[in-house]
Amino acid sequence: MDVLTHGEKSLLRFLTCGSVDDGKSTLIGRLLFDSKLILEDQLATLTRDSRKHGTTGEDIDLALLVDGLEAEREQGITIDVAYRFFGSPRRSFIVADTPGHEQYTRNMATGASNSDAAVILIDARKGVLTQTRRHSYICSLLGIRHVAVAINKIDLVDYAAATFHHIVGDYFGFAKSLGFASITAIPVSARFGDNVTVRSERLSWFEGPTLLEFLEELDVESDIGDRPFRFPVQWVNRPNLDFRGFSGTVASGSIRSGDPIVVAASGRQSRISRIVTADAELPEARAGDAVTLVLADEVDIARGDVLARPEDRPEVVDQFAAHLLWMAEEPMLPGRSYLMRIGTRFVPARITTLKHKVDVNTMEHLAAKTLALNEIGVCNLATSTPVALDPYAENRETGAFILIDRFTNATAGAGMISFGLRRATNVHRQSLSIDKIARLHRNGHKPVILWFTGLSGSGKSTIANLVEQELHSGGAHTYLLDGDNVRHGLNRDLGFTDADRVENVRRVGEVAKLFTDAGMIVLCSFISPFHAERQMVRELVPAGEFIEVFVDTPLEECIRRDPKGLYARAKAGQIKNFTGIDSPYERPEQPDLRLDTTQLSLAQAAASVIALLQERQILGWGGGGRGDTQTWI
């Protein structure tokens, strides 16, 4: 092979979908084998493994080439996405080999997210199956525009044209709603190599391309077209006082030196003065280029900002609709705060509405309250601050996001934005003339949320009551929210499932926030068992206005006290989802104050809370017009 022509090659990334029964791994093995990328020592390992785990008798089992993990070889299935590399004289290929079973939907979506095209396998003996529909739907959802439908094991139906045409008819019938730009059906036998890389005489009735020809000739460049310029700032490059540049990769479109740009979120404008790379300064940067942009003006820009052209900006919104694929074992809970990553930006976000979930096999819409692992739903989301975004269909780079569980840091969900719900740029908050500072001087103290968390029976409410009495007698404006005054009214519609507990705490947090806006000290006494929700309330208010008080009473002690007889009933199975019995309590890792009620009296516990408020200078702002009362001041 001529080395120089190799240098001119382009790159195509594609995924293969299908289960082991369809011969997916065998097909990839065949592509590698026929393009001579399987080497002698790998062949020796393969021959050894084929005898041990293989399913092809004395023949080499090509599937074993790609199933890389021990568990996969033992079970004969693909669990994880594996990336394979091969090349023809015309192109280099990166194949994402993805598992086909429904419980691995997330792995397939992962493979599809970085692919330009998909090869969907169908077993010629079985035709279009539920899994074919599922694979096609997920490909379409992840924005794959070109698919090859490889009708495999054609050898087992005697290379019959009629069977092929029948299956193709079925496939086109259902796939036309999926919006693919092109669908190419190809009859193949992965095991014997027919029509994979070489044309087969046994399939002389077929006039289309071989699978390799399809992959070599597919034009994906024109898909990218002339999209609007988007540049998520990744890293501020500041080696010395004389240079300040913004490093990142052009997500779409192009920009030239001298062109005007705008920072999407702030609306500030400037011009590109230089496009810097280590090789040379460039006149122009295009989609995919990793560059450093220097601007003509000093503009406040940080990692996470998106640069665009002033006349063609992304939306900047704090609410949007999206398809969400759930990827964590723990179900998605509407209302819970997750960390969202979009572009180079991390921002807290929550699902405000789950409109419905989608059955991945039938594409039917189903009513749902949560999403479990591998489920897909249509949701509205809200972010804590506005973010720049585009619909996924228009821009994969600026329309995709992931959600991260804030406690485990696992990647919990992957989303594709449908559209922004409200243009934040058109919505201005009412500017209020009486603000928190004005109220602070009137009240003589700062507003704060005192959040008491702990098991049922730990003493939260008793201590909160004592603290409130003490504050009140000192002249502070207080209000106490607890299960009794909230569950019977505002949250009457909520039960004790995880989802309802999240919503309960969210509403309490919002109410408490309004009270702090009014300048008050709000005491909240709730079991609030989950770290994520406590964190969510903390982030609703400015730093320092949320104080987490962990009433740390061991479960055995709470059970012994059992003031309301609830533990006895929970243990008898009469109450479900009881924290500490059959529902978890996540202990605060770093509470602002921990009260060990086995060591402290109730009065001592209350005094510790007051002492913390003094130490944090919540109290003692005096000077209001209230000389007639005894105050803290």
Partner 1 sequence: MKSAHLKRLEAESIGIMREVAAEFANPVMLYSIGKDSGVMLHLALKAFYPSKPPFPLLHVDTGWKFRDMIRHRDMIVARYGFKLLAYTNAEGVARGINPIRSGSQLHTQVMKTEALKQALDQYGFDAAFGGARRDEEKSRAKERIFSVRSAGHTWEPRNQRPELWHLYNTRLTKGETVRVFPLSNWTELDVWQYTRAEDIPVVPLYFAAPRPVVMRDGQLIMRDDERMPLLPGEKEQLRTVRFRSLGDYPLSAAVESEAATLDAIIDEMLVSRTSERSGRLIDSDEAASMERKKREGYF
Q: Which of 108, 389, 48, 445 shows the shortest CA–CA distance to 251?
A: 389
What span, in angstroms and rounded, lies between the C-alpha atoms of 495 and 186?
Answer: 54
**Tokens 């919505």 sit on residue:** 427
Binder among 27, 63, 211, 400 for partner 1 (CB under 8 A): 400
In the bound complex, what is the minimum distance in angstroms from residue 101's beta carbon to partner 1? 15
Per CB under 8 A, contacts with partner 1 among 28-87 are 39-42, 45, 48-49, 65-71, 73, 79-85, 87
Q: Which is nearer to partner 1, 92 or 418 (CB)?
A: 92
590 binds partner 1 (CB under 8 A): no
Please report, for residues 234, 239, 607, the alpha-carbon distance to residue 276 in angstroms, rounded to integers and kept in the order given.
Answer: 15, 13, 61
Q: For 68-149, where are the alpha helices, taking DSSP H only?
A: 70-75, 105-113, 130-141
205 binds partner 1 (CB under 8 A): no
Count of residues binding partner 1 (CB under 8 A)?
74
Binder among 396, 439, 460, 534 for partner 1 (CB under 8 A): 396
Per CB under 8 A, contacts with partner 1 among 253-292 are 276-279, 288-290, 292
528 is an active site residue: yes
Kindly state the tokens that stand for 574.
Answer: 């009469």
Q: Which stretch binds partner 1 (CB under 8 A): 353-361, 396-404, 529-537, 548-556?
A: 396-404
**605 φ, ψ to 5°?**
-60, -45
In the bound complex, what is the minimum distance in angstroms from residue 313's beta carbon to partner 1? 21
Q: Which is nearer to partner 1, 303 or 422 (CB)?
A: 303
Per CB under 8 A, contacts with partner 1 among 327-366 are 327, 339, 341-342, 344
Q: Give the DSSP per-residue string, 440-504.
A: HHHHTB--EEEEEE--TTSSHHHHHHHHHHHHHHTT--EEEEEHHHHHTTTTTT--SSHHHHHHH
Binder among 88, 234, 273, 352 for partner 1 (CB under 8 A): 234
**Residues facing residue 322 across a β-bridge:** 379, 417
In the bound complex, what is the minimum distance in angstroms from residue 489's beta carbon to partner 1? 38
What span, in angstroms and rounded, lies between the C-alpha atoms of 266 and 268?
Answer: 5
In the bound complex, what is the minimum distance in angstroms from residue 119's beta carbon to partner 1? 18
Q: Which is nearer to partner 1, 107 or 583 (CB)?
A: 107
Per CB under 8 A, contacts with partner 1 among 294-323 are 303
DSSP secondary structure code for residue 189 in this structure? B
In the bound complex, what is the minimum distance in angstroms from residue 79's beta carbon to partner 1? 7
- In the shown chain, the binding pattern of residues 9 to 28 toward partner 1, with x for contact by CB under 8 A and - for none, equals xxx-----------------
The 3-state DSSP class for residue 352 equals strand
Kindly state the tokens that stand for 7.
Answer: 């240098």
DSSP secondary structure code for residue 560 in this structure? H
Q: Which is nearer to partner 1, 69 or 156 (CB)?
A: 69
Strands 411-420 and 400-404: antiparallel
Q: Which of 540, 143, 120 shows the shortest CA–CA distance to 348?
A: 540
Q: Which of 10, 16, 303 shows the shortest CA–CA distance to 138?
A: 16
Residue type at 620 in one-letter notation = G
Sign of CA dihedral 327, 333, 334, 339: negative
Binder among 107, 504, 553, 583 for partner 1 (CB under 8 A): 107
Give, rounded to a whole angstrom, the gap between the first and last alpha carbons of the chain: 87
Of 136, 337, 528, 583, which residue is the catalytic one?
A: 528
In the bound complex, what is the minimum distance in angstroms from residue 397's beta carbon to partner 1? 7
Q: Which is nearer to partner 1, 45 or 614 (CB)?
A: 45
Is residue 84 within a helix (H) or strand (E), and if so which, with residue range? Answer: strand 82-87
Per CB under 8 A, contacts with partner 1 among 109-168 are 109-110, 113-114
103 binds partner 1 (CB under 8 A): no
Catalytic annotation, residues? 528
